[in-house]
Structure 1
Amino acid sequence: MRHARDGAAAAMNAASRVLVARGKNEPQELENPDVAWGQRARDGVWVPTKDGQRIHFGIDVPAADTVAQVLRPSLRVFVGIEVDTDIVAQTTSTGIRLLTVIHGPDAPSEFRFSVSLADGLALEAMPSGGYDVVHLRYGATVGRLYNPWACDSMYRPVKADYTLSGSIVTMRVQHEGSFYPVVADPLYSR
C-alpha cells in the first residue's frame, strides 16, 4: 500500500502534467470563499449556482471516510478512495474539479458522485454529454456539470461519459488498454 504522502504526490504529479498539456483554456485553481469542502470524501463539497443557491456533490466510494490531505485552501487530495484511484479536488473561480487519477488496470471504471440540489433546481441532460443545473421556474441554466474528458499518460484520449440515476451521477471511464495513470475530469461551474 502506498504511503499517503507518496500517494498525494503521485496524484498531483499526474493531474498537473495532464492539465499543463491541455493548455491555457482550462479553469485554473483559485481560492473561492463560496465553495465549502467537507473533511472526508463522503462529506463532499457545497458549491454555488448563478442564482445564489447551493448544491452538494458527494464522492460516493467504498473508502468514503477517507480524510482529505489539504495542500492549500483550494486544493486537496483524497488518496486511495478506490482501488488504484485518488481524487485531486480543486476549487476554481466558478466551481470545482474532481480530477480522478486512475493508477492501474485494477481500478474501477465507474465513479459515483451524489448530487443534492436545492428546491426548484433539476439536472437536465445536454447533447454534449454533460448536465445543466436548471432553475425549473425560470428555465435558466444556473450551473453546469461539463461532459468529462479523460486521457492517459501518453495524452491519448480515453472515453469517459456520465449516466444519471436519481441523484447519482456516475462517471464511466473506459481505461482498459491505457497507459497509466489515466486522469478523468469531472468539472462543475456556475
Structure 2
Amino acid sequence: MKVLVVGAGPTGLTAAIELTRLGLSPRIIDRRDSASTLSRAVGITSRSLELLSKSGVSEKLIAEGIAVQAACIYLDTRLALEFPLHSDRTYFPTILGLPQDRTESLMAQVLSGMGVEVEYQKELTFLTESEGGVVAQFNAGEEARFDLVIGADGIHSTVREAAGINYPGFDLEEEWSIADVDTDGWPPKESSHW
C-alpha cells in the first residue's frame, strides 16, 4: 500500500512512525524549508506517550522532558488557583513538558532510524481521486499515485480542501506572542504558570 502523509508536525510524524512500525513505508512531506526551531507547544499528554511507546519514541521524549506536576493560574500578580496534574491511572503520571521543536526532532530521528526521511520543501499542490486511489501533484511538477493520503497539514490544509471537508473554526482577533526565554529565579520547573 502506498501512503502519503502531508505535514511533518507531531501528528504527521506520529502517523508516519506508526505506519512504518506496522510494516508500511509511507512518504512524508512538508512544505516548510526545514524542521522548526521554535517551541510553539510544550505539552504532551499521557495518551500520546502511550501511543508512541511501541515505537520507542516515548522513552526519548520522557528522558528529555519535564514532568509537569501542577498548574498555577495568576490574576495580575496574585496566584488565583493551583491544581495538581498528577494521576496514577495513566501511562505517564502527568503532562510532559517538552518544546515542540525537540519533540519533532526526536520523532524524526526515530522515523529516520526506521528508514523513512521527511521530505522538506515538498508541497502538495493538488489532489484528485482516481480509480482505486489518489493522484497527488507537488511543486516542481512532480506527480505520484497513492492508495491513501493522510492530511496533517494544519489549518490551511490542502488535503482537507481537496477532499471538500469544511473547517468550522474561526480566527481570534487578539494578538498573541510566544517567546522562548531562559531566566534565573523562575518558579519551579515542574509547574505550569499562566
State TM-score, norm by structure 1.
0.22
Larger radius of gyration: 2
Higher share of residues assigned strand: 1
Query: How high is the TM-score relative to the length of structure 2?
Result: 0.21
Which structure has the highest helix share of the two?
A: 2
